[in-house]
Amino acid sequence: MSEVTRRGFIGGTAALGGGLAAAGGLPGEPDGPQPLGPVVVPPSDPRYEDLAVRRTNLRFRVEPDYFYLAGTTEQVVKAVGRAVRENRRLTVRSGGHCYENFVGDGAEVVIDLCEMSEVYFDEERGAFAIEAGATLMQAYRRLYLGWGVTIPGGQCGGVAAGGHIAGGGYGPLSRRDGLTVDHLHAVEVVVVDRNGRARAVVATRDPRDPNHDLWWAHTGGGGGNFGVVTRYWMRDPRARGDDPGTLLPRPPATVLSGLGSWAWKDMTRESFQRLLRNYGEWHERNSAPGTPYASLWGSLLIPGRQPGEGDQGGMILPAQIDAGVPGAEKLLSDFFAAVGEGVTPRATVFPFLRQPWFQAVRALSLGEATEAGRYKGKSAYLRSSFTDEQAGVAYDSLTAGGPARTGLLWLLSYGGRVNTVAPEATATVERRSILKVIHLATWDETQDGAAELAWVRDLHRKTFASTGGVPVPGGNLGGAYINYPDADHADPAWNTSGVPWSELYYGANYARLRRVKARWDPRGVFSHALSVRA
């Protein structure tokens, strides 16, 4: 994620100020039902280079013996079977948004699912099917325009369903509607048995299903662990009947959006600590299910201080709430007032904007062009506010100059209905947190990234110094999010806690995930730096 990318992260939400960015036209419809492929692309094919760069983290390069573009589940079965017979290391890609090099690391065959992108209602299963290569924006558009429903997925519209859902999935509607995986009805996975035979298996939420453990593993176990996901079926487990318009959450008809900003100029360390404390404590008070603030979602972005930054340069807080909630405008105003209370300099709060829901989704979404670049991301869950000591570490790091100028601290709203699900009910074990944390470093193609990488590693380690440099669950910490994987968590040079990486991501659920791995991937065909070990 280059400096352009960093500005994209910030600009994609900063444009909400001063009237908030108007949404563009609707994205194009997915291709028709005629499946593509299979297409095998070796290095001699001119399409190879395009596929090699089809990812967002340009820090890594993917150079397999060949790419295999699949258009159907049957093609994936054949591709997996061929790779196993040829004893080639196999990896899988849907949207290409992995924070780490899980796709490219030693891959000899990459199965690319970008052309498996259909979204439709499956009458036989009574649920909505989303193929693994469908982007979130494609899913949002088709579900909403077709049936008036949605899934509570992420704001990055270019992310594909394949990895997003398997890792848990969350976004602006999660405080109101829960995680994406809380609506997972069934999943289709191409697995490999002990004899090397590839086959497609459908696993469902029904506990009587003999494949139920495979379904459970895909409710937060992460991608690339058990097989190749080709399709998900989504349905609210509380839904009854067969009317598609009632089987998934209905989004707000309209959204009220606002933006607050604080300048780095005149922002003292104590005032910065107050800002982070206010933001965290507001979430502590307002993250219970059913609160009037259940539909409010905020995204506090704190970029590194730039030299010569003026009064308008600094940190920004876009937020939105269901405009149909009684007193929505006052609720949103009170939110900004609470976050900014006692903070100097005072916040600039831009006029609120009322938009139709899908238009608001489009305005908030990070597009593919702004997501791509060279970057290193690290994550944590917060069960309560950052301590003043942790916030002070952030201030010192973000104002240090040098590589800090392209760094970022990101605090995203969480909790609400997410925390009504028992930790063992899904593979997503962390059900107590109220905020998600992202530490991010970016650089461009003219830099080697060494200084930026050292900066973000140092920020993460110092923030969690009392727990061995990593967010060990306990106190105000809830571990880390597998969809933001960080291989440093498995490196004793950066994790000195004595707590294994698996505890950070999976907690007590890891033992069951290992049993699922032993059953469904006994040969260890699917692996990466943070994969579940049988």
Query: CA 198 to CA 190: how far, in whole Å?
Result: 7
Query: Which amino acid type is present at position 521?
Result: D
Would you say residue 24 has pLDDT above 70?
Answer: no
Query: CA 278 to CA 294: how far, in whole Å?
Result: 18
Instruction: Give the pLDDT confidence of 147-206 residue by residue, as tens digits.
Output: 999 999 999 999 999 999 999 999 999 999 999 999 999 999 999 999 999 999 999 999
**What is the band of 27 on the pLDDT scale with cuts at 50, 70, 90?**
very low
Residue 341: CB atoms within 10 Å: 12
DSSP bridge pairs for 306: none
Query: CA 320 to CA 510: how far, in whole Å?
Result: 35
Q: Pick the residue with more confidence: 22 or 438? A: 438
> Which architecture, in CATH terms, is 39-112?
2-Layer Sandwich (3.30)
Give the residue among 229, 168, 226, 187 at the shortest CA–CA distance from 429: 168
Give residue 33's pLDDT.
Answer: 58
Structure-token match 């308008």, residue found: 312
DSSP bridge pairs for 349: 260
Residue-wise DSSP of 471-514: --SBTTB----TTS--GGGG-TTT--SS--HHHHHHGGGHHHHH
Q: How far is CA 253 from the centre of its chain?
A: 24
Residue 218: CB atoms within 10 Å: 28
Burial class (CB in 10 A: 0-12, 13-18, 19+), 42: exposed
Length of the chain: 534
Give residue 370's pLDDT.
Answer: 59
Give residue 374's pLDDT.
Answer: 92
Q: At what angle do helices 450-463 and 388-398 cross, to 10 degrees?
A: 170
**What is the band of 25 on the pLDDT scale with cuts at 50, 70, 90?**
very low
Mean pLDDT, rounded, of the chain? 92
Q: What letter would DSSP give residue 183?
A: G
Burial class (CB in 10 A: 0-12, 13-18, 19+), 180: buried
What sign does the CA torsion over 106, 96, 194, 77 have? negative
**In the chain, domain spans:** 3-22+253-508, 39-112
9-13, 27-31, 443-447, 488-492: least confident range: 27-31
Fold of 3-22+253-508: Vanillyl-alcohol Oxidase; Chain A, domain 3 (3.40.462)
Query: Which amino acid type is present at position 63?
Result: E
Q: Do domains 3-22+253-508 and 39-112 have the same CATH topology?
A: no
Would you say residue 443 has pLDDT above 90?
Answer: yes
H or E element at residue 121: strand 119-122
Q: What pTM, to 2 d.p., does this model score?
A: 0.92
**What is the band of 369 on the pLDDT scale with cuts at 50, 70, 90?**
low
Instruction: Give the pLDDT confidence of 207-236 residue by residue, as tens digits.
Output: 999 999 999 999 999 999 999 999 999 999
**What is the band of 22 on the pLDDT scale with cuts at 50, 70, 90?**
very low
Residue 369 three-state SS: helix
